[in-house]
Amino acid sequence: LFLFASLLCERRIIFTSDSAEKLSACVHAASGLIYPFAWQHLFIPIIPKSLLSYCCAPMPFVIGLPSVYIDEVKEMPLEQVSIVNLDANYADAHLEDVSALPADLIETLRTRVDRVNENYARTCSSSS
């Protein structure tokens, strides 16, 4: 819900992971969360070292950052940037965008996310 709300509010989001495949897939999936809308801002699935300064950009962005660069980026002047660590399943969010969404929408989204999680858990347990 945090990610969905942050995308709708056009925030700055950095995804990080050791795996380039996971990083690229999750960054692309995040942009699909807001369908039928489209992300119209800076979108870099995997940022090269030469462009790390873009992580300080004052405009909205979605950037995939290989974990080897995270310490270097954290030393930069980041303002209101949310960092989503895909390997630790953790989000360092500084904004409360979820509360800006209508309460009935939040409840509907939570219900659907719970259903997806239950179906995924059933699928994983039955394939074991």
Would you state the pLDDT for residue 86? 96
Find all residues with CB under 8 Å of 112, minimum gap 6, and list them. none
10: left (phi over 0), alpha (psi -120 to 50) or beta: left
| 19, 34 Cβ separation under 8 angstroms | no
Half-sphere exposure of 52 (CA within 13 A, CB side): 16
What pTM was estimated for this model as a whole? 0.85
Would you state the pLDDT for residue 121? 84
Would you state the pLDDT for residue 94? 64
CA angle 124, 127, 128 (to 5 degrees): 90
Q: State which amino acid sits at residue 116.
A: V
| 86, 22 Cβ separation under 8 angstroms | yes
Find all residues with CB under 8 Å of 6, minimum gap 6, and list them. 13, 82, 93, 95, 97
Would you state the pLDDT for residue 95? 65
Question: Which residue positions in the chain have pLDDT lower than 70?
Answer: 94-95, 127-128
Would you state the pLDDT for residue 111? 92
